[in-house]
Structure 1
Amino acid sequence: MLRNRYRPIQLLGKGGFGKTYLAEDLDKLNERCVIKQFAPRVQGTAAINKATELFEQEARRLQQLGEHPQIPTLLAYFEEENNLYLVQQFINGQNLLAEFKQQGTFKEEKIWEVLLDLLNILKTVHQNQVIHRDIKPENIIRRSTDNKLVLIDFGISKQLTMTVTTSPGTIIGSRGYAPLEQMQDGKAYPASDLYSVGATCFHLLSGSHPGRMSEQLGNGWVSAWRKHLQQPLSSKLEKILDKLLQKDYQQRYQSAEEVLQDFSSPLPSPSPVHPTDAVVVTQPPSSLPVTLRNQPQPGISPAPVKPKVAPKKASRQNTNWRTRFLVGAAIPIIGTQIYGSVRYGLFPTNPIYVIASIPSGVLLQKTLIGREVSSVAISPDGNTFASDASETTSKLRNIQLWNVATGKQIRTLTDSGFVFSIAISPDGKTLASGGLYTTIKLWNLATGEQIRTLKGHSYVVGSVAFSPNGETLASGEADKTIKLWNIATGEQIGTLSGHSNVVRSVAFTPDGKTLASGSEDNTIKLWNIATGELIHTLKGHSKRVISVAISPDGKTLVSGSWDDTIKLWNIATGQEIRTLAGHSTYVGSVAISPDGKTIASGSFDNTIKLWNLATGEQICTLTGHSFAVISVAFSPDAKTIVSSDSDTIKIWRLK
C-alpha cells in the first residue's frame, strides 16, 4: 500500500528504470489507476540522474496538461522508502497500432477523424509550450468509453523555448516518426510534432512502417509517399499530408491551428465500400488459447465464409515487416513507457484469424504468436528451432527455443539485444546471434547460458553463419564488410572487404572453402576463405540482394532480391542459371532443403513459394501469413518448414 491509499494489484511492465503497476485508489471506491515506480537497475550517476530528470519531467507535463480530457491526468507524485512514484489516470482502450493490426489499414474517413482529434490535442499541448517528441500509433489510445483518442507518453517531452535542443548524438523520438531535425540535430519545434502526425497517418493508411521506410529508402520516402498507398486519397488529404511530411521543418505547417484551418471546407463523404474491400476473418471461441491461430479445433466447425478475391498484384507495402536492420519502431528511450490496457497485455485484443490457403500435401501444423520476430533457425537434429522476439512486458529482446513437434517453448535466452540474425552450429550445441548492438553473442543451447560476446564490429550485425565444421563464424555488417571469427577463442581472424553497400546475408559452401555474401549493392560475392580473395562477383539482380543459400552439393547458389525474383547461380563459374519469377513483390528470404530438391522463398507478398531446384518450376504457394514472410528454414529431414513474419511463426509439415 502506498500512502495508505494506492494498492498495486498487478505488475504491468518493467524496464531498466522502473516498474508499472495497475492499481486501485482506495479513496475513490477502488477506482483503477496506473502507478509508475522509479527504481533504476542501471549503474552510473549520469544515467540515473538523467532518468530521474525524465521521470520528474513526465510528472510535470501530466500536471501541466492533464486538465485536457484527452491527456492522462496526474493523480500523485511522491517519494516513499527512497523510491519515486508517479500515479496517473488509467486509460482503458486500444492503441492505434493494435487497432491497425486487428482491423487493417485505415480508410480515409477514419484518418480525418484521427487528424482532427490529434490536432486539437496538440493545439493545447503547444499552447502550453510543450513539444511531445514521440507521437506514433503506440502512443495514441482509443478510449473504450467514448472512442476518443488519448495522447500518452510524455516521458521525453520538452518545454518549448525558441527551439528544443538535446545533446548531440542523443536519439530522442522514434525512427521514421521523428523528423530529420530531431533525429540528427536534436532540435524540435511544434512542426516536428506535426511531422510525426503525418508519419502516423501514413503508417495507418499504407501499412508501411515509417521506420523501415527510412532504413530502406532514407529520408527520401517522404517525397514519394503516395507510391506506397494501397488506396487513392482525396486531393484535400493529399495536400495536408504533403505539407505535414515536408523534410524542411520551415516548409511544414507551423502550428496545429494552421492544419485545422485547412479543414474549413466540408470533409469528404465516406467512400462506398466495395464488396471486395471486406476482410474475411474467422474468430475462434474465446476459450481457445491465444497462442495458437489457424488451428483446426476438434468438434469446432469454422463459420462459412466467402473467400476474399486476391488482387492480381499484391502491394509492396502491405507488409508491416520488421527488417533485419531495424526491428520495431525505435530504440527504446530511457524510462518505462507503458500505458493503456492493451499495451499491458492485460486485456488482449482478439487477433484476426486469416484463412490459410494450404495446398494438398502440406499441413499447417502450428501457428505461434511472436512479437517482432525477425529470424528463425532449426537445429541439426530437427527437434528444436530458435526465434528472436521482444518481451511484451519489458524492453528486452529474447531468443526463444521451441520444440518443433509440439510448438511448445523450451527455453528463453534473455536480454539478447535487438537481434536480426541467428544461426545454430552444425553440432547443435551453440547459437550465434547478431543485431543492433554491434556485437555477436554465442549461447549454449543446452543450458541457455551466454558463452561469450564477440566484439569487433562497429555497426549493425545483419547476418551470421557457421562454417560446416563449426570452427568459424562469418558475420555481415552494415559497414559493407564480412568478418570471420574463431569460435573456440572468440578472436577475429579476418575481414573481407569489397561490397559497396550493406551486407545482408552470408552462407558457406558445404566444404567450408567458399563464402557467399549478398549485399544491398545488388551483387553476390564469392570469397576464398583460406586466402580472403574474391573469387567471383555475381551480377544480375537489379535491386538489393537480401538472402542467399547454397545447395547441399555445393554447386548452386540461390539468391532472393527486392527486384521480386529468385536467381540460381553456378558457383564454379559464377554464371546465372535461371531466374524464378512468381512473387508479386520483394523476396526477403530463401532456403534450400537438405535433400537439395526444393527451394522455399518468403516474400513481402505474405506468401511462401516452393520451387523445384532442378527445373525451376513452381510447386505450390503457402498463404496464411498476415505480414511479409521474412525468414524460412527447412528441417534436416526436409519435411518441415518454419517461417516467420513480424508477429507469427508458422510450422508447416510437408507430407
Structure 2
Amino acid sequence: MNQICCLNPGCHNPSVPEHTQFCPNCNVDIVTLKDRYRPIKSLGSGGFGKTYLAQDIDKLNTQCVIKQFAPQITGTNAFQKAKELFLQEAQQLQKLGEHSQIPTLLAYFEQDNRLYLVQQFIDGANLLQELKNQGIFSELKIRALLQDLLTTLEVVHEYGVIHRDIKPENIMRRRSDGKLILIDFGASKQLQGTVITGTLVGTFGYASLEQMQDGKVYPASDLYSLGASCFHLFTGVHPWQLWQEDGYGWVKNWRSHLQKPINSDLGRILDKLLQKDYQQRYQSAQEVLQDLNRPQIPPTVPYQHPQVSPSQPLKIKSSRRGFLQVAGLFFGGVAVSVVGQNLLKNHPDKPIPKAETLTPPVKEETVTPSPIEKTAQLQQTLTGHSGGVSSVAYSPDGQTLASGTGDKTIKLWNPLTGELLHTLSGDSNWVSSVAYSPDGQTLASGSWDKTIKLWNPRTGELLDTLSGHSYSVYSLTYSPDGQTLASGSGSGDKTIKLWNPRTGQLLQTLTGHSNSVVSLAYSPDGQTLASGSHDNTIKLWNPRTGELLQTLTGHSNGVYSLAYNPDGQILASGSDDKTIKLWNPLTGQLLQTLTGHSWTVSSLAYSPDGQTLASGSGDKTIKLWNPLTGQLLQTLTGHSSSVLSLAYSPDGQTLASGSGDKTIKLWRLRFIALTHSKLR
C-alpha cells in the first residue's frame, strides 16, 4: 500500500497509509499537492522550510523532491528576502535544469497559502556522507571530482549564475552512474555584469572573503568554495574549524593538514583556487580545467656544462642511486657526451682524456630537461619451463618468485640471482594461477585439473589439495588478512569459491557470471572481491556475506585481468577488447579508458606506490602507464609471445613478466631524467 505524510511544517510527519484523511500526530488534513505530488516522508528542514521525498502520480509514481517554503524567520524584510530566494531557486533550476548534472525543475506553485517547488529526485549520497562512510579522498578521486564538477560549473557560470553555496553537502554522487550532481540553488544569484552585490549568504569556511565581507561574488567565488570543498574531502578537516581559529589565514597553511604529500600539479591548482584575493584565483572553470588537463612539464632551467680544467683529468663514476656523477654534477642516466658514455661502458675506472682533447661546445643554450620518471630496463631472463608462463607471484619478502606454467609445474626462483630453487610437481594439467599467502608461509596453485593445491614454498611439500570446482581453475587470490582464498573457474562451472586455506573448508560459492571467471582481485581492505569474466562484466562482491554489490559493464569482450590500486580507490580491468578501464569501485563510475595495445590485455599490476600501472598483452608487449593522467610512459619489448602475467616486487624496484614464450623476464625500474643540450 502507498504511503503519505502530512505537510504541516511543525509536525514530525509520520508516514501513514495513502487514504488517511488526518495526520495522527497533528490532526492536520493530509493532501496530495496539485492532485499529483504525493509526499512520502520528510527528508529534512532548514531556514526556508522543509524538504520531502514524494511520488509523481502522473509519472507512474516516479520519485521526486518537494521543497516547502515555510521560513522560520520574523520581520517583513527578512520574510520577503527569503521568499525572493525561494523563487530564485525555481528560476535557476528552470534555466539550468536541462543539464544532466543539475536537478530538473518539475513544478513551482502555491497551495494552501504556502509555496512549493518540486524537483527531480537524485538517488545517491552527498560527498560529506561519502567522506564519513569511505574516508578521505585520494588524489585521483579529487582530480575526478574537479574534472566532473568543473564542466557543470562552467555551464552554470555561462548562464550568468553564481551558486554561492558550493560545499560537500551540496554535491551528490548519483548512484546510477557515479556522476556528481550540483544541488541546492537556493542561495544562487544571477550575475549582473561581472559582479554580484547582494545579501551576505554562504557557509563559513567554504565561502570566500569577498562573499562574506562585502556580499560581492564572482565566478572565482564559486571556485574558492570548490577548492575549500576539495580540501575538506582530501584531509577530513572541516574548513570551518580552521576559519574559526585563523579566519582566511588558514588557506596559506592548508598543506600542513595533509596526511601525505600531494602531487605538485594538483597542489598548485588547489593553491590557486584558495587564494584569499579573488583576483589571484582562477577566473573561470575553464582555466582550472586547462591546468588540470595540462601534461606535466617541468620548469625551464638553464643548462651549464661542467667546467673542466685543461690540466686536470675528469673522472666519471657510477653513483649508488644509478645516476652518473660527473665532476660533482648529476645527469640522470645520460653521460655528458658519447665519449664519456663509451668510456664508462668500456673502462669504468679510467679517467676521461683531458678537456682539450674533447671538442668543446661553441655555444650553450637554455634547454628544458625531460621529467624525472620511472622507466624499466631488462635485467635478466629466467628460462627452464617447457610451457607458457601463465602466472608469476613474488613472495611477500621479495626473496622468491613463483611461476606457474603449461608444463604442469611450479618453479621457485631467486629473483636476485636467477637461481632455480625448487620445482613443484603434482598438478596433472596446466598451472594457470599461483598466489602467495600474505604471511608467505603458503603458496596456492590453481590448475586446469580442477583443483587447488597448497604448498610449503620453503620445503616444496604439498600441504593440501582443494577439490570442488567442476571445471578448470583459472584464477586465485588471497584476502589481505590471509583468512580466505578465492578461486574462479571456467565455463563449465562459472563460479567463485571461497575457502578457508588453513582447514581446506569450502566457505561459500558465489554465482552470477554467465561465463568463465578468469580474474579475481581483493580490495586492499578486504571488504570487496572483484571478479572478471568472459561474459564481459566485472562483478563486485561482499566476500563475507556473498552479496553481489554491483556489476560493472563497459568492456565489449572478456575481462582477463583485474588490479586494485594500493589505496583501493581505483580498480583497473584489462580486456580482450584491447583496452584497460579504470573504475571507481565504490560508485561503479568509469573514470577513463586506456588504449594502445593491439591485442588482449591479459595481465595488470599496480606498482606498490600506485604511481605506475603495468599491462601485459597478446601483442607481446608490456606498457607502463601513469594511472593518474592515462599517459603511456614506456613500452617494453623483448618477449616473443603473449605476455600472460605480471608481478611487481614488494619494493617496487622490479617487474616480473611471464610469457607464452616459456620465459620470465625481470625488468629493473629506475628513475631517469634525460638531459639534452644543443651543440653547434
Q: Which has the larger radius of gyration?
A: 2
TM-score w.r.t. the length of structure 1 is: 0.44
Q: Which has the higher contact order (CA 8 A, sep 6+)?
A: 1
